[in-house]
């Protein structure tokens, strides 16, 4: 057999060897795990800030029935983690593989898969005890992660299956945009909205990770991290890990975070606005050119300018004229317009508005 393999496809066996070598060597070492995975909630109790859904899942962990579920909300708020943790607690590590079918956007989920794989899995009946003797619910769970990327016909094909197999199977649909799930499916599920995580919760989690990983940090650094991640804990943890790599054995400061996140320093934004208010057009031109040359994304500059303009001492009419222009610039940038010209045209409106009475 070995000779046969060698003889026919030298290249493929060579490829396997290449792939195999680093895999086995890393397995011997401690495998580096991204922190988002390392600190993914292991049980439902560890899921922070999503009280309603945790309450429902805990009831079902105590033996009550589970409805079909639909989780929706922005990225990094714990949707996938919650259902994975709940399934693990319900079935234990051994039964997990038999009882849970997890399909996400990386799997084929067209109508054929719904008709065959999902339907066949749903039709299996299961017992109400685990191998370790504990009671477990007499149903299986089908997790359809990123369900908003499923095609319309595939979603439609789920409708009857969901009803017919309700004795033995619960579905959990997860998505970012609930409007992309067809109405008949949403009405078959209990809907749970996952809120963006509150700042204090994020801070708590990040501090916990900092102490577990022995990181040095400044208070401002953590506050900046929370601010740039906008309620997305995954983003915050990823940034934290990058920051930790960047400043080995040093303090994680606000500056590090700003650098990693690609945020424009607020000093630069203030400077640009003040030039618009008081300086000349040439100076504004230079300021914008500098920012674009530094490599800051125009969309990021726009977002920060927007935040800053709202807080300026201008009357409502002027603010509304500026923000209206911002909307136009945003659309143009999305369509691929030139960053420098768009920012310049926005700043000229700011100059105009701030100079008129």
Residues that bind ligand ATP in the complex, under the rule CB under 6 A: 36, 39-41, 47-50, 75-81, 176, 194, 197, 233-234, 237
Taking the complex as a whole, the smallest distance from the CB of residue 215 to Mg ion amounts, in Å, to: 26
Question: Residue 173: what are its φ and ψ, rounded to 5°?
Answer: -95, 135
Q: What does 186 bind: ligand ATP, Mg ion, none (CB cut-off 5 to 8 Å by kind)?
A: none
Rounded to a whole number, what is the distance in angstroms from the first to the last CA of the chain? Answer: 87
75 binds, among Mg ion, ligand ATP, none (CB under 5 to 8 A by kind): ligand ATP
Whose CB is nearest to ligand ATP?
Answer: 78
Question: Looking up tokens 């191998």, which residue turns up?
Answer: 131
Pick the closer one to ligand ATP by CB: 41 or 265.
41
Q: Is 71 in a helix, a strand, or coil? A: strand
* Least distance from ligand ATP to the Cβ atom of residue 53, Å: 10
d(CA 311, CA 308) in angstroms, rounded, equals 5
Tell me how far, at minimum, the Cβ of 240 lies from ligand ATP, in Å: 11
Nearer to ligand ATP, 197 or 302 (CB): 197
Nearest to 247 by CA among 210, 273, 274, 275: 210
CB of 47 to ligand ATP, least distance (A): 5
Residue number with CB closer to ligand ATP (178 or 182): 178
Q: Cβ of residue 35: shortest distance to ligand ATP, in angstroms?
A: 7
Listed residue (267, 263, 221, 227) closest to 243, CA to CA: 221
Contacting residues toward Mg ion, per CB under 5 A = 80
- Select the binding partner of residue 76 from ligand ATP, Mg ion, none (C-beta < 5 to 8 A, by kind): ligand ATP
Q: How far is the CB of 79 from Mg ion (least distance, A)?
A: 5
- Both tokens of 311, joined, read 């807080």
Decide whether 11 or 106 has the Cβ nearer to Mg ion. 106
Question: Closer to Mg ion at the Cβ: 148 or 352?
Answer: 148
Task: Describe the crossing of helices 266-278 and 339-355 by its angle, rounded to 10 degrees.
Answer: 50
Find which of ligand ATP, Mg ion, none residue 40 binds, CB within 5 to 8 Å per kind.
ligand ATP
260 close to 228: Cβ distance less than 8 angstroms: no
Residues 6 or more apart in contact with residue 208 via CB below 8 angstroms: 39
By a kind-dependent CB cut-off of 5 to 8 A, residue 41 interacts, out of Mg ion, ligand ATP, none, with ligand ATP
Residue nearest to Mg ion (CB): 80
Helices then strands, counting H and E runs in the chain, come out as 18, 7
Neighbours of 129 (CB within 10 A): 12
Distance from C-alpha of 336 to C-alpha of 14, rounded to nearest angstrom: 44
């Amino acid at each position: 057999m070995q000779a046969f393999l060698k003889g026919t496809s030298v290249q493929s066996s060579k490829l396997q060897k290449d792939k195999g070598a680093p895999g086995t060597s890393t397995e011997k070492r401690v495998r580096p795990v991204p922190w988002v995975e390392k600190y993914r909630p292991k049980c439902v109790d560890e899921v922070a800030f999503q009280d309603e859904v945790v309450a429902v899942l805990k009831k079902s962990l105590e033996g009550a029935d589970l409805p079909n579920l639909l989780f929706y909300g922005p990225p990094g708020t714990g949707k996938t983690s919650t259902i994975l943790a709940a399934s693990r607690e319900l079935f234990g590590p051994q039964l997990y593989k038999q009882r849970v079918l997890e399909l996400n956007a990386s799997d084929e989920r067209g109508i054929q898969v719904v008709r065959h794989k999902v339907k066949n899995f749903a039709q299996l009946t299961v017992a109400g005890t685990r191998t370790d003797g504990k009671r477990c619910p007499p149903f299986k769970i089908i997790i359809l992660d990123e369900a908003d990327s499923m095609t319309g016909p595939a979603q439609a094909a789920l409708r009857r299956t969901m009803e017919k197999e309700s004795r033995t199977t619960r579905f959990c649909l997860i998505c970012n945009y609930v409007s992309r799930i067809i109405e008949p499916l949403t009405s078959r599920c209990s809907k749970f909205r996952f809120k963006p995580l509150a700042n204090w919760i994020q801070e708590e989690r990040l501090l916990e990770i900092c102490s577990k990983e022995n990181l040095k940090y400044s208070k401002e650094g953590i506050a900046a991290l929370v601010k740039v991640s906008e309620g997305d804990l995954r983003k915050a943890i990823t940034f934290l890990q990058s920051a930790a790599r960047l400043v080995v054995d040093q303090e994680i400061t606000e500056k590090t975070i700003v650098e990693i996140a690609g945020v424009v320093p607020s000093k630069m934004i203030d400077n640009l606005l003040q030039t618009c208010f008081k300086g000349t057009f040439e100076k504004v031109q230079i300021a914008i050119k500098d920012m674009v040359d530094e490599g800051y994304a125009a969309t990021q500059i726009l977002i920060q300018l927007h935040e800053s303009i709202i807080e300026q001492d201008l009357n409502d009419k002027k603010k509304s004229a500026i923000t209206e222009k911002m909307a136009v610039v945003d659309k143009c940038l999305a369509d691929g317009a030139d960053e420098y010209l768009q920012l310049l045209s926005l700043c000229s409106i700011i100059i105009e508005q701030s100079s008129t009475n």
